[in-house]
């Protein structure tokens, strides 16, 4: 799917109108669109395929007619992912008169207040990276909130379901940590090659701010990851302890039922026993013995617990 955008007179990035498109956004490009990108815009086929590969690392390359860049961003979360937050890649190809982006799925690349005022292609590139960092931070807050909610459920749980959910969140943080590390390398390369990308001194200052924000995002992901990993054994022990307590309760209940059953069964044997002759209170005597045996067992168990 192709989407065309341009910078309006009020410096706002908008969908294509009467003006000449400045930004071409390709989402899940078809084979025909890939062929057009390779033949018409001279985009390297390997770099184009890397833009659609979620496992590709961020990088910066210089071609004769454009600058190729790949950066990492959070993938749109779906309930079918079962608490696993994934990472996607986005390819950005900077020409002198246009900007082409390629991604495998829909992404909020141009959302946010920062895109209400843009002045150049380089401005758009920096704002896209900034939007990606903010998107990571939003997801980290969501992961932290989910982890807290699951921890409360684990305190009374006897199943592995919630523990598996925490494992998925921990795996997500590893993905995010790797992605922010990769984006940090990209930002550093952009700073070192600012002249080749036609960055102005103002753009370089923004790059410094992006480097700081990305480092903070990476540290936050690292802290959340360490906390989840260090407490995972304790949470598993809580579930095991809850299960042991429930099994203990069921065992005591089973024994408590077996004691009166034994008394009643004893007097039901087909041999000569006391009270076997007609006795008007024999039933109540046997019942009282069964109740007293249960009471004695409960009392003994209670004193042993003390």
pTM exceeding the 0.85 threshold for the entire prediction? no
pLDDT value at residue 20? 63
The residues of the chain scoring below 70 in pLDDT are 1, 4-14, 16-21, 114-116, 155-159, 232-242, 266-283, 304-306
pLDDT value at residue 176? 94
Helix axes 201-266, 282-305, angle to 10 degrees: 140
pLDDT value at residue 83? 84
Could you give the dihedral angle defined by the CA atoms of residues 145, 224, 209 and 55, in that order, rounded to the nearest 10 degrees? Answer: -100
Q: How far is CA 288 from the centre of its chain?
A: 60
Token digits for 263? 């008394």
pLDDT value at residue 246? 73
Give the domain ranges of the chain. 2-242, 267-305
- 99 close to 22: Cβ distance less than 8 angstroms: yes
For residues 66 and 84, what is the distance between their CA atoms, to the nearest angstrom?
36
pLDDT value at residue 220? 92
pLDDT value at residue 49? 92
CATH superfamily of 2-242: CorA soluble domain-like (3.30.460.20)
């Amino acid at each position: 799917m192709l989407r065309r955008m341009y910078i309006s007179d009020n410096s706002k990035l908008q969908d294509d109108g009467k003006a000449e498109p400045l930004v071409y956004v390709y989402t899940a490009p078809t084979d025909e669109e890939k062929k057009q990108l390779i033949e018409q815009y001279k985009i390297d086929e390997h770099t184009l395929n890397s833009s659609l590969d979620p496992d590709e690392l961020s990088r910066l390359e210089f071609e004769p007619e454009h600058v190729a860049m790949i950066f990492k961003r959070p993938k749109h979360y779906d309930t079918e992912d079962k608490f696993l937050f994934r990472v996607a890649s986005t390819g950005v190809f900077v020409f002198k008169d246009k900007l082409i982006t390629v991604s495998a799925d829909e992404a909020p690349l141009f959302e946010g207040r920062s895109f209400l005022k843009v002045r150049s292609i380089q401005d758009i590139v920096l704002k896209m990276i900034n939007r990606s960092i903010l998107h990571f931070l939003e997801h980290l807050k969501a992961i932290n909130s989910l982890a807290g909610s699951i921890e409360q459920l684990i305190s009374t749980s006897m199943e592995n379901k919630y523990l598996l959910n925490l494992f998925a969140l921990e795996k997500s943080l590893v993905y995010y940590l790797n992605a922010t590390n990769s984006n940090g390398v990209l930002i550093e390369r952009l700073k070192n090659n600012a002249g080749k990308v036609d960055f102005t001194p103002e753009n370089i200052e923004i790059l410094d701010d992006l480097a700081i924000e990305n480092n903070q995002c990476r540290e936050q992901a690292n802290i959340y990851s360490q906390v989840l990993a260090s407490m995972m054994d304790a949470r598993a022990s809580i579930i095991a302890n809850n299960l042991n307590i429930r099994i203990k309760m069921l065992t005591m209940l089973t024994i408590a039922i077996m004691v009166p059953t034994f008394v009643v069964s004893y007097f039901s044997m087909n041999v000569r026993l006391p009270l076997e002759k007609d006795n008007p209170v024999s039933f109540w005597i046997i019942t009282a013995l069964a109740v007293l045996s249960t009471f004695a067992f409960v009392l003994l168990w209670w004193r042993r617990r003390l």
